[in-house]
Each structure stands twice: as C-alpha cells, then as structure tokens.
C-alpha cells in the first residue's frame, strides 16, 4: 500500500511539473509572438537611432524617439532626470514587484560607416553606433512594451521601469541616475548588449575612472626665445612617459590608456596649454583609485620638472559589475528556449564579405551566431567597463548578449557599425527583446526567485558595503563630447 501511495505521489508530482512547464512554454511562445509582431516598428526605431548616431549627453532626438514610442504604448514618462537632459524613466503598471530594464542610445565619435561590408563612411555625420547602442535602446523598449501588454492583459500587479540611460561611452550616465536614487525600490534590473554571440552567463567587468589633465605653461617663440617658454606639451609628454613606465608595476588586468586632446597650435610656438585624457581600469574600484593616485603624482612630477602647472577634471567613473548567478541561470534558460539568430542568404553573403576585412586568425565559426553558448557558473571578467556596474551594486542585476554582429566582430569598430545597420543587427536585437521580456515576466511571477537573487546580492556585496561613486560629487560633464 505504501509503495502504491509513493507511486501515485510520484506520478502526481510529475504531472504537476509537466503542467508548470507547459504553462511556462506557452508564456514563452506568447512573448515570441508579441516581439515578432513588433519587428517592423522596433527595427524602424533602431534604424532611426542608427542614422542619428548622437554622442553622449546630446542624444536629444534619439531620446525623444524612445520616449515617444513608450508614451504611445501607455507608459508614463519622467524626463529629464538626474540633471541629465536626455535621461528618462518610463513606467508602466502598479505595485510590486518593480523590475527595471536599461536602455542605452549613445554613439561613438569618429566611427561613421554605411551598412556595407567594406569601409565606407556615412555622409550624415562623423559618429557611428560602433557599440550597438541603437539596438540596445530599441530592443529594451520592445521588451518593456511586451511586458506592459502582458500586465494589461492579465491585470496582475507589478511595475516595469524602462531607464533611458545616456552617455554610457565615457559619460557614466547611469552613475548619476544611481546617485539620484532612481533605482531605489527596484527589485531587479535587466540589461543586454550587442555582441557576436548569444550568451547569458555570470560575468563581471573592469572598474574605470577617467580624467582630463590640463597643463599650463608659458608661450614663447620656439626659435628666437625658447628659454623664455615653459612647454605644456613637454609636461604632457613627461607625464605620458612616467605613465608608460608605471605599466610595469601594476596588476596584469590594470589598463592605463590616454590620448593627447590638445598639444599646441604651431611648432614655432612653445605651447602654453596642453591636455591629455586618461582612462584607468582595474578589477575593483579600490584598485582603480590606487592606480589613479599614482597617475596624479606623475602629473604633479611632470609639472614640477617642466616649470608648468597642472589641474585635472574627473570625467567619469564606473564600478565593476557585481554578478548574480541566480538571475544569470534564469536568463540563460529563457535565451536558450528562443535559440540563436538565423541568417538569410543575403545576410550570409554580407557576413562572409565583412569577415574578409577581419584577421583570419581570429575568426570564430559562423555557428557562434546561430547557437546559444553553454551556461557557466564561472565568473568571467570582460576587459571592458560599463556604468551598469554602479547599478549592479545597488540592485540585483543581470544581463545577456546576442549576436547582432557577424562572428569575429569586436566592438568599437566600423564592422560593428556596418552590421548594426542591417537585418543581422535587428534580428539579434529581437532575440534579446524576447529573452529580456520573458525574464522580466519570470521575475514578476516568482517571488521566491527574487528572494534568492536578493540573498545572493547581499552576500556578494558584504555586510558593511557602502556605495561610493568613483566620480565623486561632480556634476554631469554634459560637454565632455564637445569638440
């Protein structure tokens, strides 16, 4: 009798699990249909942003296009926010839980490109979406609208917030939004990023801090009276030399990068002003700050040795991303359900031509775009930086990447701009929207999952954690992209 009862219980349990899975699959299929129904307007929105290619903190038309789309879908818009003229928060729903979705939309300078597999600059400006933020913004909006429609159809409680976050590329827009308390009361945050592959595994990034060092000297005729001059350019070069020697004495994952943004006006005039723009990256905010302090000393030494003076302005700072395995595994499962990206014959022809412009030794198999990478609990550090990091230290945060670029493409290249202006880019965007929408609905319907994610979040932060932005209390550098 006991064995019979156990058997009956096992069958009942199996039936219950099977029924739950069927409901989950039905919801995933609903999401797929909803996102696919948005294909045309979402793709048009992405291409609008791609053509605008606006730089950080001046993405006025791009931000307006995203806001207009959300407003038409019934979202309430709060804009501008956090002292950022192009930032906004779009909300839909009532009560909790509250789930946030991030949207970016800034381009990069100097990477204008047509949607062609050879290097041809676009004729509508010098900037280009070499990090795919036009897809990021439009895809996130598509996911948020799908969730809103589900909330409307079911009448269930829950709130979705779409964060229009400007100037990710060196402007730290999200840091100011975190600092302004815009993520307070949010239970979880989702984001995604264009890539050449489909993946949602645990990962982190490098923390980052940047500054412009400005040296002031004394102008003089470089031939007639060089002894009267004190060269600000000499100071920049002396600082750079010391910074290059410093590279030998930092950890292997520390990065020190610079460009000279102003070096003088003419060779026969001793420059009385020169400027160099530095990035310092490292595994943690603490490591970045300690390296940055050494860079400050190099600047002071350069000024002392050349008879000039120096001042610096911190431009941005971003913490590393705090991973959350609980949320990563959940998002991976949903991404896997939807699968990879399919190429049409014309997509494949474009991809093969584009790959001819890349180093053959670094080209992965094209299957990278068509499959989802296996899940791994091993936390991988991506050697880039993002202001998503600051969000992740305040709210449990999870992200994914989809193949919006041809396999082998790296970000911040003209090849990324080119693919992002084709169906290869928008098809990857739609895949991301499906996984984002489905993951958001999972969180809205699973209090236990949110509780587990919060517990992991608290454990990783530690009991004595206090958030401190790496950029300090400075106001947003709204002109940091000014020529």
Asked if residues 450 and 97 have their Cβ atoms less than 8 Å apart, the reply is yes
Residue 255 has pLDDT above 50, yes or no: yes
In the predicted model, what is the mean pLDDT of residues 138-166?
Answer: 97
Arch. (CATH architecture) of 31-204+320-461: 3-Layer(aba) Sandwich (3.40)
Q: Please, where are the H alpha helices in 339-464? A: 345-355, 367-370, 388-392, 414-420, 423-445, 447-461
Span 67-85, pLDDT tens digits:
999 999 999 999 999 999 9
Domain with CATH 3.30.70.360 in the chain: 207-318
In the predicted model, what is the mean pLDDT of residues 245-253?
Answer: 95
Domain with CATH 3.40.630.10 in the chain: 31-204+320-461
**Candidate from 13-17, 110-114, 212-216, 393-397 with smallest mean pLDDT:** 13-17
* CATH of region 207-318: 3.30.70.360
Residue 390 has pLDDT above 70, yes or no: yes
Residue 480 has pLDDT above 70, yes or no: yes
Q: Looking at residue 18, what is its pLDDT?
A: 56
- When pLDDT is cut at 50, 70 and 90, the band that residue 16 belongs to is very low
In the predicted model, what is the mean pLDDT of residues 372-377?
Answer: 94
Span 32-66, pLDDT tens digits:
999 999 999 999 999 999 999 999 999 999 999 99
In the predicted model, what is the mean pLDDT of residues 412-419?
Answer: 98
How large a percentage of the chain has pLDDT more than 90? 90
Q: Looking at residue 125, what is its pLDDT?
A: 83
Tokens at 475, concatenated: 């106001």
Q: Looking at residue 13, what is its pLDDT?
A: 47
Whole-model pTM?
0.91
CA distance 237 to 260: 9
- When pLDDT is cut at 50, 70 and 90, the band that residue 483 belongs to is confident
Q: Looking at residue 299, what is its pLDDT?
A: 98
Q: Looking at residue 2, what is its pLDDT?
A: 60
210 Cβ neighbours under 8 A, 6+ residues apart: 170, 277, 278, 279, 280, 314, 315, 316, 317
Span 281-333, pLDDT tens digits:
999 999 999 999 999 999 999 999 999 999 999 999 999 999 999 999 999 99
Span 173-184, pLDDT tens digits:
999 999 999 999
Q: Looking at residue 281, what is its pLDDT?
A: 97
Asked if residues 57 and 85 have their Cβ atoms less than 8 Å apart, the reply is yes
């Amino acid at each position: 009798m006991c064995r019979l009862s156990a058997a009956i219980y096992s069958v009942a349990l199996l039936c219950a699990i099977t029924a739950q899975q069927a409901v989950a699959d039905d919801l995933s299929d609903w999401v797929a249909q909803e996102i696919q129904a948005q294909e045309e307007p979402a793709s048009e929105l992405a291409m609008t942003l791609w053509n605008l290619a606006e730089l950080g903190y001046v993405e006025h038309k791009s931000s307006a296009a995203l806001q207009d789309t959300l407003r038409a879908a019934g979202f309430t818009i709060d804009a501008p926010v956090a002292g950022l003229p192009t930032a906004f928060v779009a909300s839909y729903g009532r009560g909790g839980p509250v789930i946030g979705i991030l949207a970016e939309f800034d381009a990069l300078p100097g990477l204008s490109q047509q949607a062609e597999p050879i290097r041809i600059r676009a004729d509508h400006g010098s900037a280009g979406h070499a990090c795919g933020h036009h897809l990021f913004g439009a895809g996130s909006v598509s996911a948020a609208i799908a969730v809103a429609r589900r909330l409307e159809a079911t009448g269930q409680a829950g709130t979705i917030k779409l964060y229009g976050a400007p100037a990710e590329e060196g402007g730290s827009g999200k840091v100011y939004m975190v600092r302004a308390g815009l993520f307070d009361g949010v239970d979880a945050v989702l984001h995604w990023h264009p890539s050449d592959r489909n993946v949602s595994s645990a990962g982190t990034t490098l923390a980052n801090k940047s500054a412009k060092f400005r040296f002031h000297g004394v102008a003089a005729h470089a031939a007639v009276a060089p002894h009267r001059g004190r060269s600000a350019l000499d100071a920049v070069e002396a600082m750079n030399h010391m910074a290059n020697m410093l590279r030998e004495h930092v950890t292997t994952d520390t990065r020190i990068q610079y460009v000279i943004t102003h070096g003088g006006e003419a060779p026969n005039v001793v420059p009385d002003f020169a400027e160099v723009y530095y990035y310092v990256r490292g595994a943690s905010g603490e490591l970045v700050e300690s390296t940055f302090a050494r860079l400050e000393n190099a600047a002071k030494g350069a000024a002392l040795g050349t008879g000039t003076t120096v001042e610096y302005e911190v431009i941005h700072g971003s913490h590393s991303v705090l991973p959350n395995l609980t949320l990563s595994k959940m998002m991976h499962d949903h991404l896997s359900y939807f699968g990879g990206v399919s190429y049409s014959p014309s997509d494949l022809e474009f991809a093969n031509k584009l790959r001819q412009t890349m180093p053959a030794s670094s080209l992965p198999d094209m299957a990278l775009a068509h499959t989802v990478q296996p899940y791994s609990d091993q936390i991988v550090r991506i050697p880039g930086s993002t202001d998503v990091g600051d969000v992740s230290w305040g709210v449990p945060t999870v992200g994914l990447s989809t193949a919006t670029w041809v396999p082998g493409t790296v970000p911040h290249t003209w090849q990324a701009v080119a693919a992002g202006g084709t169906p290869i880019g928008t098809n990857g965007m739609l895949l991301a929207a499906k996984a984002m929408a489905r993951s958001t609905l999972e969180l809205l319907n699973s209090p236990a999952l949110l509780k587990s994610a919060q517990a992991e979040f608290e454990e990783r932060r530690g009991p004595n954690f206090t958030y401190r932005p790496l950029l300090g209390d400075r106001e947003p550098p709204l002109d940091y992209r000014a020529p």
